[in-house]
Homo-oligomer: A and B are copies of this chain.
Amino acid sequence: MVAATIKDVAAAAGVGIATVSRVFSGTGAVGAATRERVLAAARDLDYHPSAVGRSLKTRRTGGVGLAVPDVTDPFCADVVAGVLDCARTLGQHVLLDATLGDPAREAEIADRFAEQRVDGVIAVPSGIGDPWSGFVRTGVPLVYVGRVPSCRDGGGTVPAVLADDAAGIRSAVEYLVGLGHRRVGFLGAPAPGTPPDVREDAFRAALSALGVPVDDDLVARARPTRDSAYAAAAGLLQRRSDLTAVLASGHLPGEAAVLVARELDLRVPADLSIAMVDDIAWAELADPPLTAVNRPARDIGHRACELAARGTVRRGPSGPVLLPTELIVRGSCGPAPSRRDRARH
């Protein structure tokens, strides 16, 4: 009923516990015959060395903590998959938890990870506050993923693995403007949040770089929920019926744009071109298939885990790791309709 310990195995094999330990931890030399006897005894007793005993002594748990806003989100899920993938090759296990974007939960999770003495921490910060920076003081490798908290810790820079969102947005904007669009809407992150939205900034910058006037009225903001995204999209598209294209800064606003366009009987892409950030499964399935900016979520997770688990050398002011995005062109964007075309419809 109760798990066998190293003592049981030692007794059964007629050896000292030190020998059993050497057999299982691989360190030190053990005679071939002895090793066999130990292994046999262990098999008989169904012995699994206790990680908690070991961790206490070695002061390493072999686990990394991973906190994401929501495992149900396809981007997060891919990040998790990447981390799991890498952790496996490194022989680490993964403690997962979901912050739900709530700073309070985030802090709880950070505490839990600290108690559990994880060897590394990977966090997709919620943006407000930073319960994670405490780990750098205790020497636990910490890696931010996807974004960095607004208020950074004072001293050393925390490593981060990010998608090159600015470049991704730029590529989408250039593509749309190249198709002749001048009045492009943007569905972005909430304004009240403290951190200025990188994507919105990139959107504005890309437009003005191309000589297209930027209109504050063209950007709508929503919290990361279906309802909020839908409301924002509906608001934007109704308010500005002159829009010929919309760029959604995530899959939720992208989904909302598709639904609202359908609702308003706008043909895609004849009346309205739609592009979004995050190339998730349904983008290909929609009708027409959606043009999207792909973020290498899985690679991001993989990379972050390497950094967190290997406890990489504390690098100086070298910036965050930026992974390239890719514009996946599908059928949802077309040439900008002339005003006459739109009126006809």
Q: In A287-306, which residues have CB < 8 Å from any B CB?
A: 287
Q: Does A323 contact B (CB under 8 A)?
A: no
Residues of B within 8 A of A94 (CB): 95-97
A2 cross-chain contacts in B, Cβ below 8 A = 138-139
19 contacts between A and B (CB under 8 A): A1-B138, A46-B137, A48-B115, A50-B117, A51-B115, A51-B116, A52-B52, A56-B56, A71-B71, A72-B81, A77-B77, A81-B98, A85-B98, A88-B97, A93-B95, A93-B97, A94-B97, A255-B281, A282-B282
**A118 → chain B, closest Cβ, in Å?**
10
Most buried by B among A55, A93, A262: A93
Given contacts A46-B137, A77-B72, is CB(A52)–CB(B117) below 8 Å? Answer: yes
A272 to chain B, nearest CB (A): 15
Q: How far is the CA of A255 from the CA of B281 in the complex (A)?
A: 9
Cβ-closest 6 pairs across A and B? A282-B282, A96-B96, A287-B287, A48-B114, A52-B55, A51-B115
- Choice from B48, B56, B88, B255 contacting A52 with Cβ under 8 Å: B56
Q: CB of A111 within 8 A of chain B?
A: yes
The answer on a CB contact under 8 Å between B51 and A53 is: no
Chain B residues, Cβ within 8 Å of A117? 3, 50-52
Q: What's the Cα separation between A309 and B246 when bound, in Å?
A: 47
Q: Is the CB of B71 within 8 A of A61?
A: no
Q: In whole angstroms, how far apart are the Cα atoms of A272 and B3 in the complex?
A: 57
Taken together as a complex, chains A and B put the C-alpha atoms of A74 and B81 apart, in Å, by: 13
Asked if A50 meets B115 with Cβ closer than 8 Å, knowing A77-B77, A95-B63, A96-B94, the reply is yes
| Contact bitstring A89-132, B, C-beta under 8 A = 1, else 0 | 00001111110000000000001101111000000000000000
A134 within 8 A of B: yes
- List 5 additional A-B contacts (Cβ < 8 Å) besides A52-B52, A77-B77, A286-B286: A1-B137, A72-B77, A255-B281, A258-B285, A285-B285
Q: Closest Cβ of chain B: how far from A140's Cβ, in Å?
A: 9
Q: A residues near B, CB below 8 A? A: 1-3, 46, 48-53, 55-56, 61, 63, 70-72, 74, 77-78, 80-81, 84-85, 88, 93-98, 111-112, 114-117, 134, 137-139, 255, 258-259, 262, 281-282, 285-287
Which chain B residues border A55 with CB–CB below 8 Å?
52
- Nearest-Cβ distance from residue A256 to partner chain B, whole angstroms: 10
The answer to whether A80 and B84 touch across the interface, beta carbons within 8 angstroms, is: no
B255-A285 in contact (CB<8A): yes
- Residues on B with C-beta less than 8 A from A78 are 72
Say yes or no: B56 contacts A84, CB within 8 Å. Answer: no
- The answer to whether residues A53 and B50 also contact, given A3-B138, A81-B98, A117-B3 and a CB cut-off of 8 A, is no
In-complex Cβ contact of A61 among B48, B52, B85 (8 A): B52
Give the residue name and chain of the B residue nearest to A268 (CB): B287
Are A71 and B84 in touch, CB under 8 angstroms?
Answer: yes
Residues of B within 8 A of A286 (CB): 282, 285-287
Are A80 and B96 in touch, CB under 8 angstroms?
A: yes
Bound form: Cα–Cα A334–B138 in Å: 62
**Most chain B C-beta atoms within 10 Å of own C-beta, residue among A74, A96, A134:** A96
